[in-house]
Amino acid sequence: MKIKSRLSIPTILVALIATLAVSFHGPVRAADDGKPHEKACTVENVAGAYGAIGSGTFLPGNAVGVPPGPFATVGRVELDGHGGFLVTSQTASFNGVIVRNIAGQGTYAVNTDCTGQIAIGSDTADMIFVDNGNEFDATDTTSGLITTFVFKRITTQK
C-alpha cells in the first residue's frame, strides 16, 4: 500500500499534530511539581521547537481520508509565536507503511489557562501546556482519528 504524502500531512497534528481530548478541570493547570503556572500561557510565550511523539488508530471512513489502521509518529514541530507552526521533520507509520521526511504547516491558538487548539487543514486537535510551557499534550478532535501526542520543548523562540 502506498501512502501519499498529502494524506499524511493532516495526521501530523497532531504528527503531531498533531493537533487532543484531554480533560481539564479548574482555572489553572498545575505543573508537575504541584505548583500552578507562574504565568498565563500566550501564543508568544509557548513559541519554540518541540520534539513530538504520537500514536493511535485511524478508523474506516475517517474525515481526512487516510487509510484505516494503527498509526505512530515521531517528529519536530516549531511554534512561531504568531499562531503558525511548521512540522520540519516527521516519520510516521500508517498501518505499518513507513513515511519519512514529512513536512507541513498549520495554525495554533492558546488560551491564558494553557489550553488551546492546533490544526493542519481540516485535522484539528485540542491541547494543554504543562510544566510551565515545556510540554504540551494533544488529542485529535477530527472524526475517525483516535490519536494522542506529547510535545516536549527543545528550544524557545528568540
What does CATH list as the number for 5-156? 2.40.128.10
Q: Between residues 37 and 63, which one has the greater pLDDT?
A: 63
d(CA 94, CA 106): 21
pLDDT at 20: 30
- Show me where the domains of the chain are located: 5-156
Residue 157 banded pLDDT, cuts 50, 70, 90:
confident
Helix (H, G, I), strand (E, B), or coil: what is residue 10?
helix
Helix (H, G, I), strand (E, B), or coil: what is residue 76?
strand
